Amino acid sequence: KYRKKKETIENSSIIIPICSLVFGILSAFISFSILGSLSKIKNSSLESLPLHGSELGFISFPITISYLPYANLWSILFFIMLVTIGIGSEIILCEMISYYLYNYYLKEKGYSKQKSSLIICLVGFIFGLLFTFDKGYKIFQLFDQNVTYLSCFVIILLENYVCIYYIGEESL
């Protein structure tokens, strides 16, 4: 079990979005503070900065870090943070996919848990190679702008279906 018996799903469904909202507002303050300082440093208006989307993380933050004291230390810490967040996200994604595929499909065919995880990691690696080519950033933007919204919508629908069908309306 992932939750205690006394803990209701209502508490979790309230706490998680509130935490997400607080972190979103905090990151918005940080991002716009950085954009404001960049526009002041470059003596230009905020609208003239061509930064949006993923460029905020990979262009504006490193530029701002370069103006801080001990810039080398902050840049190393920033990129360690990015790598840590990326690895953590990939571990969760791989574990989620491998758990489902292993328990419902690959276990019956005699695959071990390690072999199924290796297959999933290799498939993810091969698809990830698309983003390393010359037009990789354009492909990333295509996925980021279009596929993300659709997958979030489908995942939310499936989560609702699973909760109602398997847990039951009375238990929620």
What is the model's pLDDT at position 5? 67
What is the model's pLDDT at position 7? 67
Using alpha carbons only, give the angle 134, 137, 140 rounded to the nearest 5 degrees: 130
Nearest to 26 by CA among 16, 18, 37, 36: 18
Taking 50 as the pLDDT cut, the residues of the chain under it are 1
What is the model's pLDDT at position 73? 93
Q: Report whether 120 contacts 97 (CB < 8 A).
A: yes
